[in-house]
Structure 1
Amino acid sequence: MILGLALAMGAGVFLPSMPARAAGDDITGWWFDQTKRAGILIEPCGQHLCGKVAWLREPLNPDGKPKVDANNPDAKLKTRPICQLPMIGGFNKTGQGEWEDGWIYNPEDGDTYKSRMVLQDDGTLKVRGFIGVPWLGKSQVWTRPPTTLTECTPA
């Protein structure tokens, strides 16, 4: 579907304006997941940072219908669109370039994991999802798209 890890490393036309790169250790804005099949838009939400799948390279299933959260264990959520799907939330800044205490949702397995994010020196974002403690998890490296992505709209 969108992501290849057993954590929520989720989830197109490019606009020629507005650079996607933020200044300093600000991680708000657009990120490609590791596969570059999903664009995640990270924004402030109250006192925390949250993010949603706001762009999909292939927004439709093979049958031509919008991709949905089919693997969600909650039957009421199985039909919600992947486009605009909340994917990360609850992150608190804990240091220079570090955010912890968050969660990340994986639409490929329908599970939600604890998560932390660290902005690397090269400008990439290391996103780690885990169960219990961070060393029981997996990481992905997200990159900034070269320009701002066009936000998808759920059907």
Structure 2
Amino acid sequence: MIKKACLAILFMAVCTLTVSAQNADAILGKWLSPTSEGQIQIYKKGSKFFGKLVWMKVPDEDGKPKLDKFNPDPTLRSRPKLNLEILKDFVYDGDNVYEGGTIYDPQSGKTYSCKMTLKGDILKVRGYMGISLLGRTENFSRIK
């Protein structure tokens, strides 16, 4: 009897972890920026989530790739914006919330703390400094 109860509890725990992992992976895929000028591919490394700029409406300036020219590190200013990892180190926190990560803004060269919330096919991305109340949220749309 005790053996059956332990097996049942173990089975429920495994099922719960599987459902949680599936919910966490719902963020994976391509997302269109609010301005429709870029697409972010969100992917997973280990248990953390990352995102890189995989498409730009205007990827070139004067026939050359747009560069990360506002980066605070002068050695990185010559790298192209395309394929730049701008979302880093997010952890799924349950309830479709991803926290603990950062977002890099190549338009300003600044990196902000960030929280993402998945609402169906909308990804609410909130960048902030210090506390989440002092920030800005932008809505990205899933690309199907």
Normalising by structure 1, we get a TM-score of 0.75
Residues 21-40 of structure 1 aligned to structure 2 (within 5 Å): 26-40=26-40
Residues 1-155 of structure 1 aligned to structure 2 (within 5 Å): 26-61=26-61, 63-120=62-119, 122-146=120-144
Q: Which amino acid aligns with 1:33?
A: S
Identity %: 37
Q: Which amino acid aligns with 1:135?
A: L
| Distance across 2 between alignment mates of 1:73 and 1:114 | 17
Shift of 1:137: 0.5
Structure number with bigger Rg? 2
CA deviations over 1:84-140 (Å, ceiling 9, x no partner): 1010011000012110001000001001000000011x4200000000100111010
Shift of 1:144: 1.3
Secondary structure of the corresponding residue to residue 143 of structure 1:
strand
Q: Which runs of 5+ in 1 are unaligned?
A: 1-22, 147-155
Query: Which one has the bigger strand percentage?
Result: 2
Runs of 4+ in 1 over 4 A off after TM superposition: none
Secondary structure of the corresponding residue to residue 76 of structure 1:
helix
Shift of 1:41: 0.3
Shift of 1:64: 1.4
Q: Which amino acid aligns with 1:67?
A: K
Q: Which runs of 5+ in 2 are unaligned?
A: 1-21
Query: Which structure has more RCO (C-alpha within 8 Å, separation ≥ 6)?
Result: 1
Q: Which amino acid aligns with 1:89?
A: K
Shift of 1:24: 5.7
CA deviations over 1:14-55 (Å, ceiling 9, x no partner): xxxxxxxxx866011100111111110000012200010011
